[in-house]
Structures are given as C-alpha cells and as structure tokens.
Amino acid sequence: MPFHMNGIIFLVILGVSVHTAHAHVAAWHQGMYCLDGTSGTVNYNSNEIVNPLYQLPFHQWWFHHVDRCDEFPPASGTFLDLPAGGSFMVEVASNRAKTSLSYGARDASDWPDGGHYPENYNVPNCITNPNLHAQNQSRAAGTAFAISYESDIKKVTPENLVVFSVRHNTPWKRVVWYDVPAGMPACPTEGCICAWGWVPNGCGQPNIYHQPFRCRVTNAWSITPISTPKPPVWCEGNPNGCVRGAKQMIYWNQLERNNIQVQGFDSRGDHKSPGYNHNCGFADGAQNDIFIGVPATGGNPQAPGASSPGQQSTGSGPQPTNRTPSPPYVSPTAAIPDAVPDAAMTSSLPSSSNPQPSCRRRRRPRVEKRMLNNHHARSRVRRW
C-alpha cells in the first residue's frame, strides 16, 4: 500500500511537471478578458487563455469562445491603456501565477514560465520549456495587438479589428513592450476592444492565439479614423506584393473564416507559416499606415468616427499641423514625432507668441517716456 500511494504521488507530480513544461503562452494584463479564468472567482493560477486554437469553427475560436473566455470581461473601469505615440507593456506567460498579477510576482522570472535560461537560448529541434514554438529568438514568429472601435465585444468582427502594433521575434521574454501610433484616435467612452495574436512558426502544431482585452487610447489628439483592414498575404522576398495600409489579424488553420492560405516552403526551407513579421508585410513597431489619411485634429477628439479627408498615410508617421485638443485630453505636443516640419511646429505655438500683442504691450511705455521727457523739458524752461 505505501508503494502504491507513493506511485500515485509520483504520477501526479510527473503529470503536473509535464503540463507545466509544455504550457503555451498568452498576454497578461488587468485589462484582459479571462484574467481569472472561467470560474467566476478570483484565480491566481488561471491559464485557460493560453490554450491554442486549432481547427475550430468560427464561433469557437473567435476571442477564445471555445472555453467562454470572452464571457469574462475585466473589472468595471479597468482598461489596457494605449498611449498615443508611446508604448505599453504586457506580460507574456504560461500562467497567471508566472506574472506580477499573482503572489506578488513570487513565481515570475524573466521568462514566460518562471524558469531560468541562458540569454542565447537555442534548441535545434524546438524550445519546449517554455513552449515558444521556436528554436531561438531569431525564429520567434512575432506577436501583435489589434483594435476595434466598438465597445461591445459582440460587435467586433475581423473586418473592424485592425493590427496597430507588432513586435518581431516574440514571444520570447515575459515582459514585452508594444508601440502605439501617434495618430490613434480616442475610443468611445466605454472603451475599445483590443486583441493579442500570435501564430507560431512551425515547431509543433500550426495553431493560432487570439485573446480579447478592453482597451482605450490615451493622449489622443487625432480624429482621423482607421481604415478598413485587408487580409494579409504571404510576400516573403517580394515587398511590393505585401498588403499596404491597415491589415486584419492572421486567421489560419481553422475550420471557418481563415483569411490567408500558404503552401510550399519558405526561404529557410521550412513549411510556410504566416506570422506577424516581414513575410506577411508587418513591420516591427507601431503600424503608422493604418489611417484613412494623415492624422489631424479638428472638431471633437472623442469622435474618432468623424471622417477627415487627406492623403493616404505612407507609414512615415503622422505630421499634424493643428494641436488644440479639448480637455480632458493631454496636449498632443507630447506625441509630436521627430519628423514634424518646422512650419508645423510654428503653427502649433500658442497665440501669446504672436508678435502683435507684444507690440501693443510696448507702445504704452514709449508714450509714458515721451510724456516724462516733456515734463522734464517744461521743468527746465521754468528754471531758465
């Protein structure tokens, strides 16, 4: 009997170890859906959201409805904040317990599974601890964030969810920073819906990851809306063949609503695998070519749906010339890109820098001086 019990204990421990070793990863933040899992109670050890999505019907893979994660929103008033022209941070991990959101970061490390590995971590076949679907960092496929200007998650579709930030060579370490285009317009009062996505580059099952967040844009000054996104295409070695402008997230290897197909081998000799990288036309960092025109102010900055005609964005960054947002928004001068022309900078100066008022302010002192001189003259005449 003791041997039998010890055997059971050994098997249980072994089972937990195997599960941990091959756990997948997701992006963690207070603004995410499914932070506590799907139990309806606080769970510092949740991991439902890390399960990959593969060969599922649309209603199941979309926003991780297969385990009802989309039915467990973040706490009221909690958002993933996206500072226009700035960056935001999430933690990519295999379990909530491996992040700063549990146990005071007791079980967290620099790596997604709480482990410790060399900086030049490399496994020729495939890294499985943590399960990053890559041989080394250079082979990590890339991850992305997308945004929909809908506040109701049920109204979000592939056609209104636009990739706005990409980080090449991730997932890798736990802490990941994503850049936000400076021209991102403000969300509705109730916020926007965002999504994090990852498509592993081979090295295991060719699945996808697709999880929702409640988000909002901060420091917004532009009202130029985002374009309707197009599905990405495979364009390795052919930049002119890549989709320009706003792009959808990558939906692949599902039973329904896939938006990209690939076949054959890539330049490395591996089976083609679409990802958030140059092979599908995704540049690293903020996606500055997603707007219908050059981002600009005007009207109410809380109305991102208002159309503002302009030239198609070239991806070189917004160059606004009018910076007078209404409170409570922070002045967009904090998000001025380095490439803004001098003329644009000059037009943004407050009216107090206009020389005309300062001239009027100097006119009276000269009159007073003249009157004072006349007074002295009259005094000298009297003395003579």
> How far is residue 371's CA from residue 363's CA, in Å, rounded to a whole number?
13
**Residue 64 identity:** H
Pair 174, 307 in one domain = yes
Q: Is residue 202 part of a domain?
A: yes
Residue in the block written with tokens 């936000």: 180
162-167 vs 87-93, strand pairing mode: unpaired
Q: For 197-216, what is each residue's pLDDT tens digit?
A: 999 998 889 999 999 999 99
Pair 359, 291 in one domain = no
Pair 343, 356 in one domain = no
pLDDT, position 130: 95
pLDDT, position 341: 37
- Give CA separation, 74 vs 51, 92, 114, 117, 216, in Å: 19, 17, 24, 32, 13
Q: What is the residue range of 301's domain?
A: 24-349
pTM score, two decimals? 0.74
**368 against 290, higher pLDDT:** 290
Q: Is residue 3 part of a domain?
A: no
Residue in the block written with tokens 């999505």: 53
Pair 113, 256 in one domain = yes
Q: Is residue 227 part of a domain?
A: yes
Q: Is residue 16 part of a domain?
A: no
Q: Is residue 19 part of a domain?
A: no
Pair 266, 361 in one domain = no
Q: Is residue 7 part of a domain?
A: no
Q: For 91-125, what is each residue's pLDDT tens digit?
A: 999 999 999 999 999 999 999 999 999 999 999 99
Give first-to-last CA distance, the chain, whole Å. Answer: 131
Task: Give the chain's mean pLDDT.
Answer: 80
Total domains in the chain come to 2
Cα angle 368-371-372, degrees, rounded to a multiple of 5? 85
Pair 125, 210 in one domain = yes
Pair 63, 193 in one domain = yes
Mean pLDDT over 134-140 rounds to 96
Q: For 349-380, what is each residue's pLDDT tens digit?
A: 333 333 333 334 444 444 444 444 444 444 44
Residue 312: pLDDT band with limits 50, 70, 90? very low
Pair 123, 235 in one domain = yes
Pair 160, 118 in one domain = yes
Pair 294, 368 in one domain = no
Pair 126, 240 in one domain = yes
Mean pLDDT over 328-357 rounds to 35
CA 270 to chain centre: 29
285-286 vs 162-167, strand pairing mode: antiparallel
Q: What is the DSSP string of 274-308?
A: --SSGGGT--SEE-TT-BSSS----S-TT-TTS--
